[in-house]
Amino acid sequence: MGGFLRQLVYWLPAGIALTDTVVSVLLVDGQSMWPTLNEDPYFADLVLVEKISYKWNHKYQRGDVAVLWAPDQPHQQLVKRIIALEHDIVWDSDRGKPTKIPQGQCWLEGDNPEASGDSRNMYGPVHLGLLEGRVTHVIWPPWRISSVRRWYPADRLIVEDSGGARALKDHEGI
């Protein structure tokens, strides 16, 4: 037994550092990301969260499914999709007007608008420092094992700030 405890004390800090900064596993609860996550209402998805691109490289991409700390409940993690990044202009459907994303912030939405508290209806733009990692794969249940696709609804983004900005026809007069 003493050998087990010695090994635990030796490896525990390495494990904590690994799951905090490199990769972790998260059980996704709720229907805000349906049908991308929790497609089966009887089984919650267990997902792989890659953290290097956000925590070390600060490389955020539109369409990523991100894990973040809730802006209003700092001990709760949320899973939402990045729709727009700093300096982009996004159509805010709840307010019926465009919103320019401030520097250091992003716009996050759940794939299931009826079941999601997100930038549209609760938070507005969210600070990039709250992003914890990027969901890359569903790893449980076995019949759902797959990679998580990066995409975003093009009708939400009015102007994409990436050097070559583009305007959507529906909102050109804005």
109 within a domain of the structure (yes/no): yes
Supply the pLDDT for residue 169: 38
- How far is it, in rounded angstroms, from Cα 139 to Cα 28? 11
* 93 labelled catalytic: no
Q: Give the residue among 144, 170, 145, 147 at the shortest CA–CA distance from 157.
A: 170
Of the candidates 32, 51, 116, 119, the residue annotated as catalytic is 32
168 in a domain, yes or no? no
164 occurs within a structural domain:
no
Under DSSP, is residue 46 helix (H, G, I), strand (E, B) or coil? strand
- Per-residue model confidence as pLDDT tens digits over 1-57: 678 878 777 788 888 888 889 999 999 999 999 999 999 888 999 999 999 999 999
Q: Is the peptide bond before 102 cis (omega within 30 degrees of 0)?
A: no
80 included as an active-site residue: yes
Which of 31, 33, 47 has the alpha carbon at shortest distance from 111? 33
Instruction: Look at residue 172 and tell me whether its pLDDT is greater than 70.
Output: no
Which residues lie across from 48 on neighbouring strands?
Answer: 25, 137
On the question of pLDDT at 165 being above 50, the answer is no
Report if residue 40 sits inside a domain: yes
For residue 38, give the CATH number of its domain: 2.10.109.10
- Residue from 51, 80, 116, 119 carrying the catalytic annotation: 80
pLDDT tens digits for 115-150? 999 999 999 999 999 999 999 999 999 999 999 999
Structural domains of the chain, count: 1
The answer to whether 170 and 90 have CB atoms below 8 angstroms apart is no
Q: What is this structure's pTM?
A: 0.86
- CA–CA separation, 137 and 90 (whole Å): 27
CA dist 8 and 12 (Å) reads 6
Rounded to a whole number, what is the largest CA-CA distance in the chain?
72
Q: Give the domain extent around 111.
A: 2-159
Residue 173 has pLDDT above 50, yes or no: no
